[in-house]
Amino acid sequence: MARNTIKGKNTRKGSNKATGRDYSKEKGYQSTPARKRYRAALNKANRKAGTYGNGDKKDMSHDACGNVKKESQSNNRARNRGKRKCGCKK
């Protein structure tokens, strides 16, 4: 038996064996041209706002109306769609 063989379930945080997620589907979705344009637009706005790469823990995010605004990384990445509204009619 090899020395580095992992037996049983891999319990590392973020491992697809531990979480049961199929990352190949996510990779396919995130590599579509529409998602690339979406990320590029947010990166461009982030650079323009002067927050790209400076460690201030801010992201540029789209609200429900499609406007770009500055928001903390934790709030932006933890949001569930449809639960928060910007207050405007779409």
Q: Is residue 17 part of a domain?
A: no
Q: Nearest-CA neighbor of 42 among 66, 11, 12? A: 66
Q: Is residue 88 part of a domain?
A: no
Query: pLDDT tens-digit profile of 32-90?
Result: 999 999 889 888 988 998 888 888 888 888 887 888 888 888 888 887 555 555 555 54
Q: Is residue 29 part of a domain?
A: yes
Q: Is residue 19 part of a domain?
A: no
Q: Is residue 15 part of a domain?
A: no
Q: How many domains does the chain have?
A: 1
Model pTM above 0.75? no
Domain span holding position 52: 24-78
- Count Cβ neighbours within 10 Å for each residue of 11-31 and write b for 16 or more, e otherwise: eeeeeeeeeeeeeeeeeeeee
Question: Rounded to the nearest 10 degrees, how much is the dihedral formed by the CA atoms of 77, 81, 84, 85?
Answer: 120
